[in-house]
Chains A and B, each alone.
Chain A
Amino acid sequence: MEELKEELKGKIIEVLNLEDISVADIDDSDALFGDGLGLDSIDALELIVLLDKEYGIKLSDPKQGKSIFESVNTMADYIAKNRTK
Chain B
Amino acid sequence: MDRPLYISHYSKIENGRISVDGNAIFHTDEAQFFAFIKQAFKNQQIDYSKFYKMDNLSKLAFLAAEVLLNEEEDKEDIALVLSNKSASLDTDVKYQGSIQDAANFFPSPAVFVYTLANICGGEIGIRHGMKSEHVFFVSDEFDAVTIFNYATYLMKSLKAKKVLCGWVELFEENYKAVLYLVEERGTALHTTDTINKLVKN
Contact = CB atoms under 8 A, between A and B. Distances in A.
Touch A–B, Cβ below 8 Å: yes
Interface of A: 16-20, 42-43, 45-46, 49, 52-53
B109 A42 contact: yes
A75 to B, nearest CB: 18
8 nearest A-B residue pairs (beta carbon): A19-B52, A45-B109, A17-B52, A53-B106, A17-B53, A46-B110, A42-B110, A49-B106
A18 B110 CA distance: 13
A42 B113 contact: yes
A53 B105 CA distance: 9
22 contacts: A16-B53, A16-B110, A17-B52, A17-B53, A17-B110, A18-B49, A18-B52, A19-B49, A19-B52, A20-B49, A20-B52, A42-B53, A42-B109, A42-B110, A42-B113, A45-B110, A46-B110, A49-B106, A49-B107, A49-B109, A52-B106, A53-B106
B45 to A, nearest CB: 13
Contacts of B44: none
A17 B110 CA distance: 10
B108 interface: yes
A45 B110 CA distance: 8
A53 B101 CA distance: 13
Interface of B: 49, 52-53, 106-110, 113
A42 B107 CA distance: 13
Nearest to B106: A53
A16 B52 CA distance: 9
B57 to A, nearest CB: 15
Contacts of A53: 106
Contacts of B109: 42, 45-46, 49
A59 B49 CA distance: 29
B108 A46 contact: yes
A32 B107 CA distance: 22
A20 B109 CA distance: 21
Contacts of B49: 18-20
A72 B53 CA distance: 21
Contacts of A19: 49, 52
B97 to A, nearest CB: 14
A42 B106 CA distance: 15
B105 to A, nearest CB: 10
A19 B107 CA distance: 22
A64 B3 CA distance: 58
Nearest to A45: B109
Given A20-B49, A52-B106, 14 more contacts: A16-B53, A16-B110, A17-B52, A18-B49, A18-B52, A19-B49, A19-B52, A42-B110, A42-B113, A43-B110, A46-B108, A46-B109, A49-B106, A53-B106
